[in-house]
Structure 1
């Protein structure tokens, strides 16, 4: 008897467990069949390509010397506006001993010739005054004496140039005076007084004494990924946002797209450039970091839905489930294939297959609920 009671209790327990599982299974099944719905909406959509880069002058000029030496003085400061021809720095020439010695020997040789020709001239002048020699001989002696004097002056000038780098009487044209080649703002002065500088020639790029530019002409220079560069065309309008000026968006016109990409961290990027339309209310400094947005395609007053509501079949054809009848757990849905247009990542354009009054099943209802899975 006890054995039968024990068996009966086990059977009863198993039945209760099966009943509980069936109850909750049915309940969960019913709850999972309840979906929220949404409707398409009419609006505008833009697809943008984003580039990161910096703001810099259209042209940057490096001021370099035509003679080697030591910086004697610096007459401007960074950030200062200078006019074309204004003095930037002066260089003190460090004499070359060999050249200096050669110039000194030339002076001594010229002095000897001057003394010799002076004696010849004095003798010719005496003889001419006595009527011994013709005037032609006197004129030749005078010319030889004057030529010797000129040779001495040239030798002295050459010595002065070898010593100081400046020829007497030509101080205003001296290469030791470094002047601005154009008007603009001094961006950088990488040298200091006392620094050695190298002249620019066929064998050396020379030492940069100052960098300057016209900061009223700025461009955005940035890079875009290879996936976006094919959508860009010269002449496109660009909106430039500068990190240091958060409340202002500048307009630029794309005028350069690099024909060659550069690989960086496994991604190929292409350089772009666009002159910026500056606003006199804002002072834009060279080197500001900036981001640019380029509208590659857009559509106005078109039918839109959220990209999250679109599903794809095994052939990657897009579709949505549209409410056919009923509501709640009694709702029935039908599959509607749709033709998509452009997307900005959040919304997508629906070209055909859907009406504005259609109600679309929201598949990710559970993820949107604040209190966990299931309808609330």
Structure 2
């Protein structure tokens, strides 16, 4: 029995020994793990955020009539470039019956007042002439003559004022009836002229359309929209998650969908202090002035994207973000640099600007260092005869 037990133990020891040898042999036969390496390179890294919007004129001027009526003739169309004072349209006045009747009554009343003042003046003239004769003969005192002269002068002044009032009533009647009056020049005119120089962006009315004058109670009908197309701005919106990263005077790169292979430089001028909720997200309006450097014509209203450049590093040493590791305790960045064949050492690095793919390396590695790529690669299996 003892001999049998000894044999069993020896057999087990032998099996274990052979198993260990086989395990070591199989591990030696396994394909070795190979790490690839990459070297840093010179890159221009731009960290930016994108806002969507459109291109609009910096200032739009709405041309409105100063009198109500019907468009009689239009002299411009969208796309025309005009100067200040150029004729845009003519308005034909259609008099209001009530206003016309009131103006006519005012004329009649003014005429009556003129006639009354004329009669009073003639009466005072007679008295003045009579008192003057008596004064020349020494019959009346100088005080009595002065009183007669004062009354005559006042009657003359009242008569002149009533004639002026009659002229004003006549002008009001002419304006109500025809839209213009003699002696008022351009202040009451059916000719609508440009107030500024620029391009006509829109003419929303047609011949025969009725228009309303601009006054304290009504904005009036827009006859034409003018703008200087050499002064365009980008208007867009950014999400609340991005608005904290941007500040005024940051550079913008504008790309217009309708203009291929073109970028326009701009400067961020305005960030709205208050956001607006759109589709459950808070959006903040922004504006940026374009600095056109060529003759490319940008049409107002074109959709565009603005890349807001948050940081930029030109021609700096950079590596891929995927090569950077972070210490689990200190969270400090580091990389592993090759010091021999598949031998690596840890190097702490200082990072700069990152665009999400490439990151600037301020210190820790040089341009000739080979940095470990963490993707493990195994050599392709070889087949007999191949």
TM-score by length of structure 1 reads 0.72
Gaps of 5+ in 1: 1-18, 367-373
Counterpart for residue 257 of structure 1: 271
**TM-aligned CA deviation for residue 185 of structure 1:** 0.9
Q: How does 1:1-376 map to 2 (within 5 A)?
A: 30-31=30-31, 33-109=33-109, 154-170=168-184, 172-312=186-326, 314-315=328-329, 316-323=331-338, 325-326=340-341, 331=342, 336-364=347-375, 375-376=379-380
**TM-aligned CA deviation for residue 322 of structure 1:** 4.3
- Does the 8 Å CA contact 1:186/1:211 hold for their aligned counterparts? yes
Counterpart for residue 9 of structure 1: none
- Does the 8 Å CA contact 2:175/2:188 hold for their aligned counterparts? no
1: CA distance, partners of 2:49 / 2:31: 42
Structure 1 stretch 76-85 or stretch 87-96: which is displaced more?
A: 87-96
**TM-aligned CA deviation for residue 209 of structure 1:** 1.5
2: CA distance, partners of 1:336 / 1:100: 93
Structure 1 residues 247-274: Cα deviation after superposition (integer angstroms, max 9, x where no partner): 4332223333333333434444433333
- Does the 8 Å CA contact 2:63/2:194 hold for their aligned counterparts? yes
- Does the 8 Å CA contact 2:66/2:188 hold for their aligned counterparts? no
Gaps of 5+ in 2: 1-18, 134-147, 381-386
The secondary structure found in structure 1 opposite 2:262 is strand
The secondary structure found in structure 1 opposite 2:101 is helix
TM-score by length of structure 2 reads 0.70
Larger Rg: 2
2: CA distance, partners of 1:172 / 1:145: 29
The secondary structure found in structure 2 opposite 1:362 is strand
2: CA distance, partners of 1:32 / 1:321: 19
Alignment CA distance shift 1:210-1:39 (3 Å): same
Structure 1 residues 95-122: Cα deviation after superposition (integer angstroms, max 9, x where no partner): 2222212223344455667788999999
Alignment CA distance shift 1:227-1:364 (3 Å): farther
1: CA distance, partners of 2:319 / 2:183: 82
The secondary structure found in structure 1 opposite 2:361 is strand
**TM-aligned CA deviation for residue 187 of structure 1:** 0.6
**TM-aligned CA deviation for residue 79 of structure 1:** 1.0
2: CA distance, partners of 1:46 / 1:162: 65
2: CA distance, partners of 1:213 / 1:105: 44
**TM-aligned CA deviation for residue 183 of structure 1:** 0.9
